Structure formats: C-alpha cells, structure tokens
Structure 1
C-alpha cells in the first residue's frame, strides 16, 4: 500500500523531470522531435504526447476532472507543437501536484471504478491504479530519455535522491 507522502514525492519528481524535458525539447527542431527513432510510439514528440494523454486520462479518473480526447491511437497527436505541449504539460503537472497535495490515506483505500480505452468497465484497488499512473510516467519518460540521448542531447539527472538533494 502506498501513502499520500509517496504520491506527493512522485508528483514532485514528475514535475521536476518534465521541467528538464521541456528545457531540452525547447532547443530541438520540430524535425528532430518528430523523427522516427524506433521507439514504441516512434518519435520523441509522439511519446511525449502519449505520456501527457496518459496523465490526463488517469487524472480524470482520480479527480473527476476533464479527460483528453481520443484513445491511445490518437494520443500521439494530442498537441500540435512543442510550445502547446509544454504549456499543457505545465498545466497537467500542476493538476497532479494539487491532487497529490490534497490526498488523504483514505483516498488511496478501496476500489476505483473506471472505464478502459476499449470501453470496458474495470474495478481495481485505488492504490494499484495510482502506482500504475506514476510507473507509466517513469516508463515513457525513460523511452524519451533514451531517444534524446541517442539524438545527442544532454539531460539532467533522473535519480530521485538527486531531487531530494536539491531541497
């Protein structure tokens, strides 16, 4: 079982990592960001869009807020430009942080009833869904990190202890 402190740490980690990615992405050309690099979603931009879409869909299940349009297939086209992506990413990171900040232990207990992208009704333990949410972020950011490294970019540290050393 996870607790609110874990969620708050992971929300902070998510924001920190996405801030570093925004800085790197901002310096790259659109062609570099859209180049197929052999990853599951192909390009850096497609993967960043999918990751943002995934955060949006899971947060809509957790906070009953707005869900993104489309499904997984359309997720790679969520934002049209790196500037729009950066703005939406910033907003989503704030939404995640605020949600985590207000979490209570009871919020992580019990079940979450949700609908998957195939329209199937699902019920899972809330803490399992939240753990998946944070794991999904880390998984796809790892893919982005690998693609950016292969493209010759230098990225900031990714270790959680490095985040904790900052404050």
Structure 2
C-alpha cells in the first residue's frame, strides 16, 4: 500500500509540472482572471492546493504551518513564486510519503480542523484524501485552462505510468 501512495505522490508531481507548464504560458492577468470554479481563478485554485497540501503535510509530520489562516489564503500572488513553491512542495510530499513506515498506514491521525475541532482519520484515508483532493482541484484548473488559448495537458495517471515506466 505504501508503494501505491508513493506512486500517487510521484504522479502528483508529474501532473502538477504539466499543468503549471501550461498555465505558465498565460500572462498574469489571464492566470488571475475570474473563471468558473470553486476557487474562481487559476491562481486562486492553485493557491488553494498549496495551502491544503501544506496543512496536511503539517499534520502528517506534526509540524503545523502557522502561516495558514484559511483555505482560501493566497500565499503566492505571483505565479512564478507559486510555481517554484509547488515544485518544492511536491518534492517534499514525495519525501514524506516515501519516508513513512508501513505501520503508519494502519494508524489513526489525530489533528484539528481549520476550525479548531479535534478529529481523527485513518492514515491511509488521509493519504487517499491528499491525492484525491489534488486531482479534484487540478481537474477544475484543467477545465479553467480549457477556456483559454492554451490547450490543457493530458493529466491521466495512465499516461504518467506509461511516461515513467511505472506500469
């Protein structure tokens, strides 16, 4: 099971790199432009993913990110800064997931929600959520990109598996 989550971490890095390369072809105004989505711009959607990944990584490593105050924080208003931070965080996710002892997958993660409520979730489901959440919002960004002149890239995991020889 740990190998599966490590594959998802690597897929996450691959998909984000492809998406960010496509978004990077737009100018700053187009990246920040209002679009249909839960976080209504490419910039806001991609920042949301950074924020939530930092939250979950903090919970997984018992090092909460005190800088994050809400799920719609915009720590990276400049896309080039966001892109660099995304690449670094994706590397960190691979490092953390790859460093988990297999026994941790059977544990329960005890944490507080953003509202301060105590909560417990099985570790394997936390990791599943981390990567599912990425896919969910990356899909929204992909759809937003479809409304621009830049064609959205293929992000299906099967292409990652073929590209990297992981399958």
TM-score normalized by the length of structure 1: 0.92
1:96 shift after superposition: 0.3
Q: 1:89 is matched with which residue: 83, 86, 89?
A: 86
Structure 2 match to 1:146? 143
Q: Quote the RMSD (CA, aligned, Å).
A: 1.2
Residues 1:58 and 1:18: Cα distance change in structure 2 (over 3 Å)? same
Structure 1 match to 2:132? 135
1: distance between equivalents of 2:98 and 2:108?
20
Structure 2 match to 1:4? 2
2: distance between equivalents of 1:149 and 1:156?
10
4+ long deviations beyond 6 Å: none
Structure 2 match to 1:104? 101
Structure 1 match to 2:16? 18
Q: Which runs of 5+ in 2 are unaligned?
A: none
Report if aligned partners of 2:25, 2:150 keep a CA contact under 8 Å in 1: no
Q: 2:50 is matched with which residue: 39, 49, 52?
A: 52
Q: Which runs of 5+ in 1 are unaligned?
A: none
1:104 shift after superposition: 2.6
2: distance between equivalents of 1:158 and 1:45?
19
What pairs with 1:38-49 in structure 2 (closer than 5 Å)?
Answer: 38-49=36-47
1: distance between equivalents of 2:102 and 2:60?
14
